[in-house]
Amino acid sequence: MFSRITGTGSFLPGAPVSNDDLARRGIDTNDDWIRGRTGIRFRHLADTGQTASDLGFEASRRALDAAGLQASDLDLIIVATSTPDFIFPSTACLLQGKLGNHGATAFDVQAVCSGFVFALTIAEKFIRSGSHRRALVVGAEVFSRILDWNDRGTCVLFGDGAGAVIVEASDTPGILSTALHADGAHHGILSVPGSVCGGKVTGDPFLRMDGQAVFKFAVRVLSEVAAECCDAAGIASSEVDWLIPHQANIRILEATARKVKMPMDKVIVTVDRHGNTSAASVPLALDEAVRDGRVRSGQKVLLEGVGGGFTWGAVVVEM
């Protein structure tokens, strides 16, 4: 028993918000400063009251349509998010209710920006075990809710959005290899170090990041896990048709491509228009590339994520 991606979908809330729009909102920044350091030109921000499950619902509906399935066909729903609707129930259960599915296994995965890669890997294991046959895997984030809008070093980097894929049992391999890792010793360089206790926020409820430390760590582990995953799939990196890494920063994407010896014209880039959408970034980029015809059936795609924890992982997929 193997597993294969049979449909993709994505959703971005509202109109694009430009760097100049942020400056007009009173943030001490400008387009040259943001673009020069990150490559980001736009991002999308959810409206007040718009939740991760709302964004995930729209992306899921489009993925189901692409796969030719109904929500009732699903027996597994996994949502990767760091910005859940509630403490509980899980965003996956809330999404399940909105889709009208009854009885499928549903749960969340929290691995921050690696979340979608973790969730896709978990779905693949469920399907290969024979216990499940059709899975919905979603990355959905409303990071705008956890940003300190007075910290221009972080607030300009992130956006909101959702991406989804349908994974189905198959007689032929589609997901060729996976690799997941974590090292909690590095938790301090990227975190939201707060919580709720007794009805009050304790600690710091905003995202905090050591940008230089994250950059160095991300480039190293992304290149290492790419090689690991290609080796496990029995292919050379030159056989990969497309690299879709987590969309954090154009400099990280360029440095990772150099390390794995892939030209930038084989790297799917959406960070310029979406910003960093955390667990949503990889499925958003994959869906865009599928729908515009770049990623085609039979091609090999390397998906990669790295995020707070620290967590990192990769999946090699034959579409």
Task: Indicate if 176-318 has the same CATH topology as 2-172.
Answer: yes
Confidence grade of residue 30 (pLDDT, cut at 50, 70, 90): very high
Global confidence as pTM: 0.97
- What's the pLDDT score for residue 241? 98
Rounded distance between C-alpha atoms, residue 28 and residue 150, angstroms? 8
Exactly one of 44, 186, 246, 274 is catalytic; name it. 246
276 is catalytic: yes
93 is catalytic: no
Confidence grade of residue 66 (pLDDT, cut at 50, 70, 90): very high
Strand, coil or helix: 66: helix
| DSSP 8-state assignment for residue 275 | -
Exactly one of 19, 101, 249, 276 is catalytic; name it. 276
Per-residue tokens: 82: 């760091």
Domains in the chain: boundaries: 2-172, 176-318
Report the percentage of the chain scoring pLDDT > 70.
100
pLDDT, tens digit, 9 for 90 and up, residues 92-133: 999 999 999 999 999 999 999 999 999 999 999 999 999 999
163, β-bridge pairs: 10, 139
Strand, coil or helix: 244: strand
Q: Are 196 and 152 in contact (CB under 8 A)?
A: no
Kindly give, in sequence order, each residue whose CB lies less than 8 Å from that of residue 67, ignoring residues fewer than 6 positions away: 6, 7, 166, 168
Write down the H helix ranges in 68-114: 91-99
Q: Which CATH class is domain 176-318?
A: alpha beta
pLDDT, tens digit, 9 for 90 and up, residues 154-171: 999 999 999 999 999 999
Exactly one of 113, 155, 229, 230 is catalytic; name it. 113
Per-residue tokens: 153: 């070093």
Report the percentage of the chain scoring pLDDT > 90.
99
113 is catalytic: yes
Specify the CATH superfamily of domain 2-172: Thiolase/Chalcone synthase (3.40.47.10)
